[in-house]
Amino acid sequence: MPNPIRLAIIGTGLIVTAKHWPALTALPSQFRIVALTSRSPAKAEKLADSILAVTGFHPAVYADYLQMLASEKPEAVSIALPPMLNPEATEAALAAGCHVIAEKPIAARPGDGARMLAWAKACGRVLMIAENYRYKATYRHAAQLIAAGAIGRPAAARWSIYHYIAANNPYHQTAWRLQPEHVGGYLSDAGVHWIAVLRMLLGEIETVSAQVIQVRPDMVPADTFSATLRFANGALGTLAATHAVPGPETALQVAGPDGVLLAWKDRLELWRQDRPPDQWIELSPVDGLVAMYEDFAQTIRAGRLPMATAADALADLRVIVAMLRSSENAGRAIRVADVD
């Protein structure tokens, strides 16, 4: 078995302590965290102490990622920074010879994301975006069932989402979310998750018609949208989501002539006429991040494409931008291919 990949983490905020580090603890043979970089070294030192307690190794702590890259020479880097900082940090890590996995959305705007893809290709290194919804077991199983013809050719999809963000939510307290520089604010920050799932199950989205509103003044520029989607395979979809209103978890529904597939985060149901529904309970450790990091490691070692490519992440962001442009144009249909 090869030695663990020497991994450095750039950014040690809440998403790292709550998600990335817990996922990496499940993969000690795949990764060894050798360095942490944070503008708040005290925060990074606290995480380093936690890593020491679990692994017996204390990663080096840096305030400057350029210094870290030069000194530690990690094999791979996990970037957990605000999206507008992804391009600069990614370019530096790739230029240092590192493979990169960066938090979603890929960048503040599609053009920046496109440049990140070009840099990765030029450097011959892996670039992944941490789109963990693509690694959730229920959604992956749903994609397999649809591909196998369980509901026939998909005709329609419907998803209404209550993704409530309370004013005191610690994620909401971060300055870059309160005053976002990335397009759409929360609508792209969380919205790429849902677009990723829809594209994984139904394929490319060709056109989008949408309306966007702001319900809460602390969620700029908007917190609620309703969109109609037309897929390249001819299927139609509706996607509505709000961060301003609490509500229950609702199932993504995908319908075809032979049945309806209902997918929740950890549960899947296949309904077909005149027979009891098939049901599956499928948990995804650390919200899919364990499987995501496993794929990152295997992609590095095997030199293959990841299951969730950076090109997919860019395509997800372009759909969100198409929604925003449609709303700016009174709901006029926008071709996703025209978004740059």
CA angle centred on 65, ends 63 and 69, rounded to 5°: 130
Position 310 pLDDT exceeds 90: yes
Closest CA to 254 of 299, 200, 212, 294: 200
CA-CA distance, 174 to 47, in Å (whole number)?
19
CATH 3.40.47.10 fits 5-133, yes or no: no
What pLDDT is attached to residue 2?
83
As a whole number, the mean pLDDT across the chain is 97
Could you tell me which residues come within 8 angstroms of residue 198 by beta carbon, excluding any fewer than 6 positions away? 157, 159, 205, 229, 237, 239, 252
Within 13 A of 207's CA, how many CA atoms are on the CB side?
A: 9
Residue 313, pLDDT > 70, answer yes
Architecture field, domain 134-287+317-338? 2-Layer Sandwich (3.30)
In terms of DSSP H, where are the helices of the chain?
14-15, 21-25, 41-55, 65-72, 86-95, 110-123, 137-147, 175-178, 186-189, 191-202, 289-302, 310-328
As a whole number, mean pLDDT of residues 227-247 equals: 98
Q: Is residue 1 pLDDT above 90, yes or no? A: no
Element (H, E) at 205: strand 205-213
In the prediction, which pLDDT does 166 show?
Answer: 96
Domain boundaries, the chain: 5-133, 134-287+317-338
270, 277 contact by CB (below 8 A): yes
Closest CA relative to residue 93, chosen from 110, 108, 113, 73: 73
What lies within 8 Å, CB to CB, of 208 at 6+ separation is 227, 228, 229, 230, 319, 322, 323, 326, 333, 334, 336
pLDDT at 158: 98
For the chain, the C-alpha Rg in angstroms (whole number) is: 20
Q: What percent of the chain has pLDDT over 90?
A: 97
Sequence-distant (≥ 6) Cβ neighbours of residue 80 within 8 angstroms: 9, 10, 11, 12, 13, 15, 16, 20, 102, 103, 130
- Matching residue, tokens 């604010």: 185
What pLDDT score does 124 carry? 96
136: how many CB neighbours lie within 10 A of its CB?
Answer: 25
Q: How far apart are CA 35 and CA 90, in angstroms?
A: 16
In the sheet with 76-79, reading across from the earlier edge strand, the strands are 60-62, 31-37, 5-10, 76-79, 99-103, 127-130
Q: What is the pLDDT of residues 207-230, one digit of tens each?
A: 999 999 999 999 999 999 999 999
Confidence of residue 46 (pLDDT cuts 50, 70, 90): very high
Distance CA 65, CA 76 (A): 13
- Cα separation of 216 and 180, whole Å? 15
Half-sphere exposure of 84 (CA within 13 A, CB side): 10
> For 157-202, what is each residue's pLDDT tens digit?
999 999 999 999 999 999 999 999 999 999 999 999 999 999 999 9
pLDDT for 231: 98
pLDDT in tens, 50-96: 999 999 999 999 999 999 999 999 999 999 999 999 999 999 999 99
Taking only the tens place, the pLDDT of each residue in 86-119 is 999 999 999 999 999 999 999 999 999 999 999 9
Q: Give the whole-number percent of the chain exceeding pLDDT 70.
A: 100
* 245-266 tens-digit pLDDT: 999 999 999 999 999 999 999 9
pLDDT digits (tens, 9 = 90+) for 118-169: 999 999 999 999 999 999 999 999 999 999 999 999 999 999 999 999 999 9
